[in-house]
A and B are shown apart, each in its own frame.
Chain A
Amino acid sequence: MNVSDFEMISRLVKERSGLLLTEDKAYLMASRLNPVARRHDFKGFDELAKAVRLHGDEGLLRDVTDAMTTNESFFFRDAAPFDHFRDLILPHMLEHRSSQRSFRVWCAACSSGQEPYSLAMILKENEAHFAGWNIEILATDLSRAILFKAVEGAYSQFEVQRGLPIRLLIKYFKKDDDRWRIDESIRRMVTYRPFNLLDDPSSIGQCDVVFCRNVLIYFDLPTKSAVLDRIAGIMPPDGFLCLGGAETVLGVSNRVRVMPGLRGVYGLAEEGSGDLALAAG
């Protein structure tokens, strides 16, 4: 792969997804794009690069971008945000949404579905408190390929052994050949659709809880800031935002503030007091 092909494709991927590909990712690019080249009947990477350069069709550009996403995910990743969801966020919603009896959760980079299904299992385990409520879990990702997998809700033996307690496996999964399929009662709690975090999320609508985990780490600072500001724009004043363990809002957005003592959970900064609240966190 020559430098100019690498740069051209990196630029395309960055424009379409925000994902930053540093030069040490050249090897990764070759190994991820060779299968795409085969699928589109190109002889190899060089021919694919040429087609992309000549503004290949939308399907090709999308597949190239998709292939450069990192989709690693597991159930109850990092445990803490899910504990906070159960112990803090749900009781808050129970108290503060009792008149409308509804709230919405958005998983903004849901990958293969482990994150929204983890939240759905927590809700299911607590359903007695929410009888008659309308709770929506909307899960989106840029990659259509990974959304197919999420919708299917079938996981390998390795995937169901990372983060998922055995009691929840036997309660909510059935073995289907060598895959474990999530129960329909959990699957239908989650609505999937494609969404690009670079786009305006007003079509998503207001969300009381937003999980946007382990995706900002791949963006540059201006992109992180813009994404966080837009997410803040669709949250109510008492909304909750959960980020990944290696992600922070400090110095990135002053519309979002740290919640002291709650690792990974963020709230909206009050108008004009953002910096102060951040300093306190």
Chain B
Amino acid sequence: MSERALHTVEYRTVGAVSGPLLFLEGVSGAHFDETVDVVAPDGEIRRGQVLEVDRNRAVIEVFAGTRGLDVASTSVRLGGGSAALGVGPGMLGRMFDGSGEPVDGGPPPFPEALRDVSGLPLNPAARDHPSEFIETGVSAIDGLNTLVRGQKLPIFSGFGLPGAELAARIAADARVTAAETERFVVVFAALGITHREAAFFRRSMEDSGSLQRTVMFLNLADDPTIERLLTPRLALTAAEYLAFERGMHVLVILTDMTNYCEALREVSTAREEIPGRRGYPGYMYTDLATIYERAGRIRDRNGSITQLIILSMPDDDITHPIPDLTGYITEGQIVLSRELHLKGIDPPIDVLPSLSRLMSSGIGAGRTRGDHRRVADQLYALYATGRDLRRLVSIIGESALSEDDRRFLSFAEEFERRFVHQPGQARPIAATLDLAWELFGPFSDGELKRIDPDTIARYRGAAAV
């Protein structure tokens, strides 16, 4: 991170230190939202931001934490302007900490320009609606929850579930056509994840040969928690530069947003704000939106920002405020299931609660295939019926099932084991759709209610050849 202006005024009037906050008294000229330098008693300089100004008082959030700060000798330099990041092509292949300082031993890359990290809202009239299919090779995604370029899509994972593996797999496979590889880059933001997880991502980027086309911002589990509020904004500022000024297709990976939300809650609690659901602040929706909405495409520009967000559902609870508010903002979600994971399904994607809202603009003849929409609808209908029956069987036993019911029940099994389960190898979209037709085998044309007779006539049986 770089500074926009020189810090000019210095105050030694800290009134209180509480949690991540510092209360400065007797101030004049503190600007709301500006960055400040907090000088610790030992001379160490920590970055902070003004959260509120009230007459002669300023409330400051200290990104690196307040440990070791005191009232007597800590001082604060105001006048840092809004938080900014120096951006330039030299960022590619580099690794930074959660506040934007290089941590790979190299010098800071030469900044071509300084950008305000909070970003500005994109004018909806200037956006271009995303519609370009991204083939991930994962059938449960490509077939049923198709991703498009410029989409923001979270993976709802859980502790011990392979959310990171799935994200890495998508990042590695989603580079689409060879001609476009040059323009594909990854911006990776680690938010409070472990060294092990960060190393995993690094390795997988290395394996897929994209490390040189990756920018990493790392705030790890043992890094200051409040800094996490800044890290995704740095990553997105870099992404906006690469996408909209350099014409690149940027895949932004944010992991794990649950840690981000917890940092947000910590600050809110320290400010003694009225808590919303489960102690998270009432403005969390808006705050998350200022991150997630920084995805998409702009008319008459070449680049795009696609966001892949990983979050852990506390207690596997999808109604928890973190997945809930995320789902209300993002363009769908991929939900991982512990039950499927235990069953050995890999990736353990539960397609029922999963959704891609931009799917319909990315599929169909000319994009994927003419039967895509109907095949997807039909898979859903059959699988949902099968799952209902599975529940019924657990209550009243299998003997109560009719012959018909049994076909649906075994469809659900087959679907999970053959369609969703897909360790290793990627499947092209045509193979995914053909596999679906194969799974429809036991059902008569009339039972495939979601597919029109023309489509059935055209595709049924064709796959078997």
Partners in one complex: no
Binding site for B on A (CB under 8 A): none
Binding site for A on B (CB under 8 A): none
